[in-house]
Structure 1
Amino acid sequence: MNHKLFYQDAYLQSFQANIVRQDQDNNGNWYVLLSQTAFYPTGGGQPFDTGTLNHARVINVEEIDGEIYHYIDRKIEDLLVEGRVEWERRFDHMQQHAGQHILSAAFVELTGYETVSFHLGSELLTIDLNTTELTQQELEKVEFLANEIILENRTIQTKWVTKNEVAQYPLRKQLSVTENIRLVIIPDFDYNGCGGTHPSSTGQVSSIKILDWERQKEKVRVYFVCGARVRKQLQQKHSVLKEVGKLVSSSEQLMVETVQKLLSRNGEQDKTISELREQLLLFEAQKVLQGNLEGSIITHLFHNRSIQELQKLARHIIASTNEENIVLLVTENEDLVQMVFACGSDSSFNMNSLMKEVLPIIQGKGGGSPVLAQGGGKKIVSGKEIIQQALKVISK
């Protein structure tokens, strides 16, 4: 472990090392192995560090068979390199990882719910708990205890122990390794096996905020943030609330009530608009009927109308005439043509069969029932020609 400088000093931001090996992987990506490194590789739920090796950018770090591979954006010409860890990213990971330890321990202490998995994302963190239920009261108590531990500024210790020495510590969960065992300890609160980087005290975590939770199969997933991410979340939400307040002319305290009133009013308006549209369609159906006063076949050509509107018009027209009538409605929409064929229940014609015979002239698709069918295709012929073709089929 001597070459893993991040275990000797998590605050180390720069170091010197010799290149042990430099090569390209199967995808042509350059990587180097160093005599020692402060770059933390992906592991234990914590992402890798980024930074530089001389003038090369470190874009990924992985541990493979005990060796740490530093993936870089260019080849390094020198054998001696100076490494610089991107500190803002490293310290953010230290805050988040330690915060997860604190929050998981608080859940165990107050609810008995153990953490079964952990993910440290670029914006949010999640832990999955071994429970299917979680109450708001439990969340509030756990979050309060976690922040109390932070305010007490307890030390965060790391220890390398042997398999036999592990029994001396009340571990929060079972270890996944039997050698090179590293414990992260918050005295009298949390004892946990972990290979990640952490600050030296809980106070440096700054704060923890639970944002949300949801059921995930037989578990509960909790979303939260720590440290500087809490301030970022606060700023984002404050900006959104401020802008929404301007839009609805409301203070933060009355925001929920104001939005509920607006939604209720909009719902009523949507209902009114829907009713008015139905009335317009009824009037339009009557207008189509007036243009087809003779005969039992009613036809009309539209432009830029939806198939749903044609279906409603066809139903209104059939309902306003005798049950033997046939309705042929066609709309031309740019390079497409759509149609709805309908008839009364007493008609001897089958609208689905009629649609199937007409569709080939526009390379179309569609279908329906004996009394109502719809379809559409390319505007190979005009809507007027489609109506004429349908009339020919009916006349046969």
Structure 2
Amino acid sequence: MKLYFSDIIIDSKLVKYGVKQLTRKLFWEDPYLASFSTTIVSINDDVENAGSYLVELAETAFYPEGGGQPWDEGQIGDANVTYVFEKNDKIYHRVDILPTKKEQVECKINWERRFDFMQQHLGQHILSSRFHKLFNARTIGFHLGKDTVTIDLLKDSFTVEEFQRVEEEANHIIHLNLPVFSLYPSDEELDSLPLRKAPKVEDNIRLVEVKNTDYSPCGGTHPSRTGEVGIIKIRKWEKMRGNVRVEFVCGLRAVMDSWGKYQQFNSITNLLSVGDTEAFEAVEKIHADNKRMNKQLNQLKKSLLEYQIKDYYSSADKIKDYSLVVKVFDNVDMKYLQQVASLLNQYPKTIALLAARNDKAQVVFTRSKELKIDINQLFKEVISLIDGKGGGSEVTAQGGGSNISNLEGLMDAAVLKLKHEYIK
């Protein structure tokens, strides 16, 4: 049985076509139905969401979450519908307050949200069909998000030119303004149709056909003609567990995405005082210059650090024939402490106790490799003074704690232990 999505079936139910449903699905009969009047069958407390209620309607135009498409929102009387789901062929609507009426309740769909989802969902059908036709890449995942849509394709890679070809053909189908049908085929009819993918259910199979172009099992809502998708724009792609994930947008989302990119590009050209065609070359030059300057800066930092390390060593306290470096830094990170420690422990008979004050206290203890002092043991004996934890090896140990105010006390305690217990 073939139905145009634009056909409004008021007096007949889909049961007539062999489709079983306990809650009548008006969104299948007419996806453009934005308001309707019906009867509330039941209202129950939502045990999973305190203060909310689950409303069952005799019939509903609210689409329940499923098949990769989010649920509809709107109102049932004075109550706001925040979530819709289907369970055991019944559709339940989560609302924030108890509806004041049960008979002839006026219901309203958030049409802007619904039509956006319709555009994105049909766009996904079109795009998936092109990937399948051109490159035999089957869609194995679909997610319709608030801002973007993604599909996962059973293929390990594509070229930029292949993505461009898919996008061009998908938009050509949109421009043809082909009609979209809802099909409820018999088993014999199902076997004769060139399905892009196999149905996930055995009964009540519903197909969506883009005229003579794509046949796909689907329970979602879609526009009645491909032209209503407006435009499909692939935004980016990435490898994902051996497959390829493609992110795209359709309709108004694509327009807004393009406008946002134009504003950014225009700001860049104005900032660089270059024309559109010169922007990439200018940015490329800045990137190369920045890379070169960062390399020079890192070399200077390394030279400065090496000079500082020599100064730390030369000015270190002497305990017998050991050199003891004790430093507490402000606003340096653990990576910096580790770097200083790795350079200091290259000097002979050297022990370094290093710490930093940040959001929390951080500590690194280290020693020259030829020494027999157990630095990890020393570290564990004092780290509790800053309510900290950590550890390491006999050569180097590190960690952190929350009691910054006692960081100096920790360092003093470590020095005393070294002098009286570890260096003999």
- Matches of 1:117 and 1:332, distance apart in 2: 48
- Matches of 2:240 and 2:418, distance apart in 1: 55
The runs of 5 or more residues in structure 1 that have no matched partner are none
Matched, 1:381 2:402: no
Read off the aligned partner of 1:34 and give its amino acid letter: L
Matched, 1:14 2:38: no
Read off the aligned partner of 1:58 and give its amino acid letter: V
Cross-structure match for 1:52: 75
Q: Is the 8 A contact 2:391 2:397 kept in 1?
A: yes
C-alpha distance after superposition, 1:160-212 (max 9, x if no partner): 33223323433222223343333322222112232221111111111111122
- Matches of 1:244 and 1:225, distance apart in 2: 24
How far 1:392 moved relative to its partner?
2.4
C-alpha distance after superposition, 1:26-52 (max 9, x if no partner): 234312111222111122222111111
How far 1:241 moved relative to its partner?
2.4
How far 1:247 moved relative to its partner?
4.6
Out of 356, 371, 381, the residue aligned to residue 360 of structure 1 is 381
How far 1:145 moved relative to its partner?
0.9
Matched, 1:94 2:125: no
Q: Is the 8 A contact 1:326 1:344 kept in 2?
A: no
- Matches of 2:198 and 2:355, distance apart in 1: 69
- Matches of 1:362 and 1:104, distance apart in 2: 58
The runs of 5 or more residues in structure 2 that have no matched partner are 1-12, 15-23
Matched, 1:38 2:61: yes
Identity %: 34
C-alpha distance after superposition, 1:107-135 (max 9, x if no partner): 22222222223221111112222222222
Read off the aligned partner of 1:140 and give its amino acid letter: Q
- Matches of 2:121 and 2:275, distance apart in 1: 36
Pairing of 1:294-313 with structure 2 (within 5 A): 296-304=321-329
Give the TM-score of the pair, scaled to structure 2: 0.81
Out of 207, 216, 227, the residue aligned to residue 183 of structure 1 is 207
Q: Is the 8 A contact 2:157 2:244 kept in 1?
A: yes
Q: Given the superposition, is the C-alpha separation of residues 344 and 67 from structure 1 closer, same or farther in structure 2, using an over 3 Å criterion? A: closer
- Matches of 1:114 and 1:205, distance apart in 2: 22
- Matches of 1:265 and 1:303, distance apart in 2: 36
How far 1:20 moved relative to its partner?
1.2
Cross-structure match for 2:306: 282
- Matches of 2:366 and 2:407, distance apart in 1: 18
- Matches of 1:175 and 1:91, distance apart in 2: 25
Read off the aligned partner of 2:26 and give its amino acid letter: L
Matched, 1:61 2:89: no
Cross-structure match for 2:195: 171
Cross-structure match for 1:156: 180
Matched, 1:127 2:151: yes
Aligned residue for 2:39, secondary structure, equals strand
Matched, 1:110 2:134: yes
Q: Given the superposition, is the C-alpha separation of residues 269 and 154 from structure 1 closer, same or farther in structure 2, using an over 3 Å criterion? A: same
How far 1:326 moved relative to its partner?
3.2
- Matches of 1:150 and 1:111, distance apart in 2: 20
How far 1:310 moved relative to its partner?
5.7
Out of 228, 246, 257, the residue aligned to residue 222 of structure 1 is 246
- Matches of 1:331 and 1:209, distance apart in 2: 52
C-alpha distance after superposition, 1:129-163 (max 9, x if no partner): 22222222221111111111111111112233322
Read off the aligned partner of 2:368 and give its amino acid letter: C
Q: Is the 8 A contact 2:383 2:410 kept in 1?
A: no
- Matches of 1:82 and 1:210, distance apart in 2: 39
Out of 65, 72, 81, the residue aligned to residue 95 of structure 2 is 72
Read off the aligned partner of 2:64 and give its amino acid letter: P
Out of 26, 34, 43, the residue aligned to residue 5 of structure 1 is 26
Out of 285, 290, 301, the residue aligned to residue 266 of structure 1 is 290
Read off the aligned partner of 1:360 and give its amino acid letter: E
Read off the aligned partner of 1:350 and give its amino acid letter: K
C-alpha distance after superposition, 1:244-297 (max 9, x if no partner): 444555444333333332232222222222222333233334434554597632
- Matches of 2:218 and 2:398, distance apart in 1: 64
- Matches of 1:292 and 1:43, distance apart in 2: 68
Number of residue pairs the alignment of both structures matches: 388
- Matches of 1:288 and 1:278, distance apart in 2: 15
Matched, 1:24 2:57: no
Q: Given the superposition, is the C-alpha separation of residues 395 and 223 from structure 1 closer, same or farther in structure 2, using an over 3 Å criterion? A: closer
Cross-structure match for 2:372: 350
- Matches of 1:104 and 1:358, distance apart in 2: 59
Pairing of 1:230-269 with structure 2 (within 5 A): 230-269=254-293
- Greater mean deviation of Cα atoms: 287-296 or 264-273: 287-296
How far 1:92 moved relative to its partner?
0.8
How far 1:313 moved relative to its partner?
5.2
Q: Given the superposition, is the C-alpha separation of residues 266 and 393 from structure 1 closer, same or farther in structure 2, using an over 3 Å criterion? A: farther
CA RMSD, Structure 1 to Structure 2 (Å): 3.0
- Matches of 1:312 and 1:81, distance apart in 2: 70
Aligned residue for 1:392, secondary structure, equals helix
